[in-house]
Amino acid sequence: MSHTFQKIEAVLLPTAIQYTPEGSDPKAVIHQWIHAIASDYPLFAEHQGICKEHLIEILKLSNLYKDKVTFKKKLPSTPIKPAIKSTFTFIDLFAGIGGTRLGFQKNGGTCVFTSEFEKNAQQTYFENYGDYPFGDITKIYVKNIPDHDVLVAGFPCQPFSHAGLKKGIDDTRGTLFHNISNILKDKQPKFALLENVKGLISHDKGHTLQVILRTLISIGYNCNIDHEIITRGSLKQLQTEAKKMVLKSVDFGVPQNRQRIYIVLWKNIDLKQFEYPAAINTDTNVGSVLIDNPDPKYTISDRLWEGHQRRKIDNAKNGKGFGFGIVNKDSLYTNTISARYYKDGSEILIEQEDKNPRKLTPREAARLQGFPDEFLPNKSDVQAYKQFGNSVTVPVIVELAKQISFQLKKNTHDIA
């Protein structure tokens, strides 16, 4: 980070502290303000009276602002570059290390607000985007969040109570999804993309998904499932339709058998059905993500390898069918990488000639999720594995964002 950028942070710190939500670092406010001034989008906490003119005056007093063009040059260079030409804005919630942000930036999106609770992920996010995320979303005053065109969120899957269903936003109280729905209700973005594990469809026999979708349509949003099915249909009907929202990473050129549900929502847009991206049918192989000459430290020990083999035999005897997954460079794809990969690497082991198999390196884990090689993994292998295991697959998001961007442009053109 440049000395000049550090001076800008220091000058804005006393003001930022006044507007920093509980559970967030003042750096998050400062960085949002700096990028908002440089790229001319709304400030965090404008609702509370903060304005660009005031911040610019503070910067001018320290000779840190002359005009927008020269101020933008003071921002540090980052591994992941912002959109060259911005055509829409979005916010990135439960952001992890920014895989979703990357996909939307590639399609002309500018991120105007980010929230991520986990400290190590916040640091990785900052090192790649030059933007430190806000923290606990439950402590952030919704009206302080800048207006935006698209909300994106990979939210945690939590059960809802079966008692006293109102079929509205109150049914989600006490869960993190409630915070998403509150932001949607207040900010009314044209689109939202909610990502979750495929298991959301079967979670609590479909009841969780039903409450989520009923909440969303109660605040005016549409998705590809008919309102009648959401409000009056059976859980089985709902689950059948929801399966059409599941996309597989291997269908988008990534050699990983990863399936996720992507709920695309829209409001005040002339759209009957969202066209989910079709499989690109590119041949995949594990060799495409492997590096040459990996460090010997990634080769698993004799003890761990013996344990993996023993558990696989025991599980087979007990009818469980679970065990390690081993692949080589010619394999079409791997199992799904998970946040627990750092523990023993059992779901994805790479075959090696005349020695024990090895774990993926962090760079290979990044490639397996479609991150470009300029992306900087966390310096801790443990944290890097957790973060990539929790992340989205970037090429899938790129294709979804492309279609959302197209619809936003089309809607703007139709209005004009």
Tens digits of per-residue pLDDT, 48-69? 999 999 999 999 999 999 999 9
* pLDDT tier, 319 (very low <50, low <70, confident <90, very high otherwise): confident
How far apart, in whole angstroms, are the C-alpha atoms of residue 185 and residue 151? 11
If you classify domain 286-390 with CATH, what class do you get?
A: alpha beta
- pLDDT, residue 157, reads 72
Q: Provide mean pLDDT across the span 100-118.
A: 97
Integer CA distances (angstroms), 161 to 212, 317, 353, 407, in order: 12, 38, 53, 36
- pLDDT, residue 316, reads 76
DSSP string, 195-232: EEEGGGTTGGGGHHHHHHHHHHHHTT-B-SS-HHHHHH
**C-alpha dihedral sign at 169, 171, 177, 178:** positive
Integer CA distances (angstroms), 363 to 91, 96, 306, 359, 366, in order: 27, 17, 26, 11, 5
Asked whether 214 and 201 are in contact (CB, 8 A), the reply is no
The yes-or-no verdict on residue 247 having pLDDT over 80 is yes
Integer CA distances (angstroms), 153 to 164, 176, 310, 317, in order: 27, 11, 40, 41
The yes-or-no verdict on residue 171 having pLDDT over 70 is no
* pLDDT tier, 362 (very low <50, low <70, confident <90, very high otherwise): very high
Indicate if 157 belongs to the active site. Answer: yes
* pLDDT tier, 282 (very low <50, low <70, confident <90, very high otherwise): confident
Lowest mean pLDDT among 118-132, 152-166, 316-330, 351-365: 152-166
Of residues 47 and 83, which shows the higher confidence score?
A: 47
Q: Say which DSSP state 93 is in.
A: E
Which pTM value belongs to this model?
A: 0.94
Q: Provide mean pLDDT across the span 184-188.
A: 97
Lowest mean pLDDT among 39-43, 89-93, 307-311: 307-311
Fold entry, domain 80-279+396-415: Rossmann fold (3.40.50)
- pLDDT, residue 386, reads 96
Supply 370's token pair: 């479609």
The yes-or-no verdict on residue 234 having pLDDT over 70 is yes
* pLDDT tier, 84 (very low <50, low <70, confident <90, very high otherwise): confident
Nearest to 149 by CA among 83, 228, 208: 83
Q: Provide mean pLDDT across the span 124-138.
A: 96
The yes-or-no verdict on residue 416 having pLDDT over 50 is no
- DSSP H or E segment with residue 274: none
List phi, psi (to 5°) of 97. Answer: -105, 15
Q: Provide mean pLDDT across the span 219-234.
A: 96
How far apart, in whole angstroms, are the C-alpha atoms of residue 291 and residue 298? 12
The catalytic position among 51, 111, 157, 223 is 157
- DSSP H or E segment with residue 397: helix 394-415
261, β-bridge pairs:
196, 246
In percent, the amount of the chain with pLDDT more than 90 equals: 84
Q: What is the CA radius of gyration of the chain?
A: 23
Lowest mean pLDDT among 226-230, 254-258, 373-377, 408-412: 408-412
Asked whether 63 and 8 are in contact (CB, 8 A), the reply is no
The yes-or-no verdict on residue 163 having pLDDT over 60 is no
The yes-or-no verdict on residue 156 having pLDDT over 90 is no
Report domain extents, the chain.
1-77, 80-279+396-415, 286-390
* pLDDT tier, 315 (very low <50, low <70, confident <90, very high otherwise): confident
